[in-house]
């Protein structure tokens, strides 16, 4: 397993008014478990934490290292090691059809175009997407597109997988499919989700609340903790 390390990493953003706002308070963590799940309310900072891990967001303070590689200095190397699946598949897919998109991912690994094409089709097959390989990605259903986004990232076999709510648009069956596929992978994995069943399927869980790690421990305890957090709030009253 890789060592994902945050040393006092914090994220502040400047909003439209020019004010600075803390999105993630200084956080120190060492993640070495195989499966780590991240849960928390909308806007709590889950996506921000995940994006730190492959250098899509840079810490405004502190540092983030993956096996000793600093995301700030060795961004390209880090991203080659850490694959990222976005919640919004549209943010992920860049080519007009599924096959082309997977092939684009594979360019770095496979120089021979025919072999690349074969590998791409195999990757799509795995997710039951072979028939849709030549269809415009903008004409796929929401769920089909999300499956495709996962397929494009898994095709390059990164050593660490970071997944930001990868199952939100999926139906019962496809959710099961993705869950069992992920369970069968050897890769280390960090996964943010609102699906608490999926979150339970981990070795360690973090609960993020209002930009800080509010709980860190076993998945069962984390889910219980989060449920309590939700229940404690006065219903219909908004956080913050």
The binding site for its own copies (CB under 8 A) comprises: 13, 15-16, 40-43, 47, 87-88, 128-129, 131, 135-136, 138-144, 147, 165, 168-174, 176-177, 180, 194, 196, 226-227, 230, 233, 235-240
Name which of 118 and 227 has its Cβ closer to its own copies. 227
- The span of 30-38, 148-156, 177-185, 213-221 binding another protein (CB under 8 A) equals 148-156
- Nearest approach in angstroms of CB 136 to ligand ATP is 7
Q: Give CA–CA dist 155/101, Å, rounded.
A: 10
Q: Determine, following the binding rule CB under 8 A, whether residue 119 of this chain makes contact with another protein.
A: no
**The entry of its own copies, ligand ATP, another protein, none that residue 54 binds, CB within 5 to 8 Å by partner kind:** another protein
- Nearest approach in angstroms of CB 110 to its own copies is 25
Name which of 66 and 182 has its Cβ closer to its own copies. 182
Region 126-145 residues binding Mg ion, contact defined as CB under 5 A: 141-142
Q: Which residue is nearest to ligand ATP (CB)?
A: 143
How many other CB atoms are found less than 10 A from the CB of residue 155?
23
- Nearest approach in angstroms of CB 90 to ligand ATP is 11
SS3 per residue for the chain: CCCEEEEEEEEEEECCCCCEEEEEEEEEEEECCCEEEEEECCCCCHHHHHHHHCCCCCCCEEEEEECCEECCCCHHHHHHHEEEECCCHHHHCCCCEHHHHHHHHHCCCCCCHHHHHHHHHHHHHHCCCHHHCCCEHHHCCHHHHHHHHHHHHHCCCCCEEEEECCCCCCCHHHHHHHHHHHHHCCCEEEEECCCHHHHHCCCEEEEEECCEEEEEECHHHHHHHHHHHHHHCCCCCCCC
Q: Determine, following the binding rule CB under 6 A, whether residue 45 of this chain makes contact with ligand ATP.
A: yes
**The entry of ligand ATP, Mg ion, another protein, none that residue 70 binds, CB within 5 to 8 Å by partner kind:** none
**The entry of another protein, Mg ion, its own copies, none that residue 239 binds, CB within 5 to 8 Å by partner kind:** its own copies
- The span of 46-54, 63-71, 89-97, 217-225 binding ligand ATP (CB under 6 A) equals 46-54
**The entry of its own copies, another protein, ligand ATP, none that residue 5 binds, CB within 5 to 8 Å by partner kind:** none
User: What angle is formed at CA 55 by the lines to CA 111 and CA 143, rounded to 5 degrees?
Assistant: 70
Q: Determine, following the binding rule CB under 6 A, whether residue 142 of this chain makes contact with ligand ATP.
A: yes
For residue 174 the two structure tokens come to 């496809």
CA 138 → CA 11, 47, 86, 135, 212, distances in Å? 33, 24, 16, 8, 36
- The span of 25-33, 53-61, 199-207, 221-229 binding another protein (CB under 8 A) equals 53-61
Total residues at the site for ligand ATP (CB under 6 A)? 21
């Amino acid at each position: 397993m890789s060592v994902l390390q945050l040393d006092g990493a914090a994220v502040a953003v400047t909003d439209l008014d020019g004010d600075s706002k803390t999105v993630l308070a200084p956080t120190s963590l060492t993640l070495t478990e195989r499966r780590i799940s991240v849960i928390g309310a909308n806007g709590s900072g889950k996506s921000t934490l995940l994006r730190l891990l492959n250098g899509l967001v840079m810490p405004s303070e502190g540092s983030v290292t993956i096996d000793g590689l600093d995301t700030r200095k060795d961004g390209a190397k880090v991203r080659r090691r850490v694959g990222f699946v976005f919640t919004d598949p549209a943010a992920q897919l860049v080519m007009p059809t599924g096959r082309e998109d997977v092939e684009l991912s594979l360019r770095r690994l496979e120089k021979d175009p025919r072999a690349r094409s074969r590998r791409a089709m195999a990757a799509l097959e795995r997710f039951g997407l072979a028939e849709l390989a030549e269809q415009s990605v903008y004409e796929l259903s929401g769920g089909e597109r999300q499956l495709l986004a996962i397929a494009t990232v898994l095709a390059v076999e990164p050593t660490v997988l970071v997944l930001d709510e990868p199952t939100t648009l999926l139906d019962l069956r496809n959710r099961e499919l993705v869950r069992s596929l992920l369970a069968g992978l050897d890769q280390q994995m960090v996964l943010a989700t609102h699906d608490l069943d999926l979150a339970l399927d981990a070795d360690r869980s973090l609960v993020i609340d209002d930009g800080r790690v509010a709980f860190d421990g076993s998945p069962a305890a984390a889910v219980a903790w989060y449920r309590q957090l939700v229940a404690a709030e006065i219903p219909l009253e908004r956080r913050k």
